[in-house]
């Protein structure tokens, strides 16, 4: 991959905010921060345009909740074409963390995540978005 250099002009306040972002996120330099922001914007565009994307659905739940795992499995079977893999981890005696790797149409992934997160007994759920390329 060839790297190109170019200049960027920013207002003082915007530059200060960029430098705070760099400090807070521990970027090594401004170029890396700008690269990150551009890629993040492009990934967001892919999701909004309903393109093919990848991501992970992260769920935390009490595994003692009745029918939760059965409902989760049913939802996942309805969207089997989107699911690449899943991992189940026992956090403690009551709580589990499940990570579901997904790839497919952005709107379908959001629908899948929303259905899983809405299951009674899910304590926390989040869809983490990325690009498939």
| pLDDT tens digits, one per residue of 21-64 | 999 999 999 999 998 898 888 877 777 777 888 999 999 999 89
Q: Edge-to-edge, what's the strand order for the sheet holding 52-62? A: 83-90, 95-105, 52-62, 122-131
Per the structure block, which two tokens stand in for 36? 């990150």
- Spatial CA neighbour of 95 closest among 133, 130, 74, 122: 122
Confidence (pTM): 0.75
Helix, strand, or coil (residue 120)? coil
Separation of alpha carbons 14 and 99, rounded Å? 37
Tell me the per-residue pLDDT of 72-111, one tens digit each, with 9 for 90 and over. 999 999 999 999 999 999 999 999 999 999 999 999 999 9
105 forms beta bridges with 52
- Spatial CA neighbour of 86 closest among 116, 110, 62, 108: 116
């Amino acid at each position: 991959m060839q790297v190109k250099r170019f200049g960027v002009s920013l207002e003082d306040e915007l530059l200060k905010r960029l430098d705070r972002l760099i400090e807070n996120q521990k970027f090594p330099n401004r170029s890396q921060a700008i690269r990150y922001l551009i890629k993040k914007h492009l990934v967001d565009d892919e999701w909004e345009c309903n393109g093919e994307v990848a991501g992970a659905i992260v769920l935390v739940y009490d595994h003692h909740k009745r029918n939760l795992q059965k409902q989760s499995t049913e939802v996942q079977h309805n969207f089997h074409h989107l699911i690449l893999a899943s991992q189940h981890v026992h956090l403690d005696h009551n709580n589990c963390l499940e990570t579901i790797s997904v790839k497919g149409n952005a709107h379908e992934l959001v629908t899948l995540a929303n259905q899983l997160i809405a299951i009674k007994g899910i304590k926390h759920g989040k869809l983490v978005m990325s690009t498939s390329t």
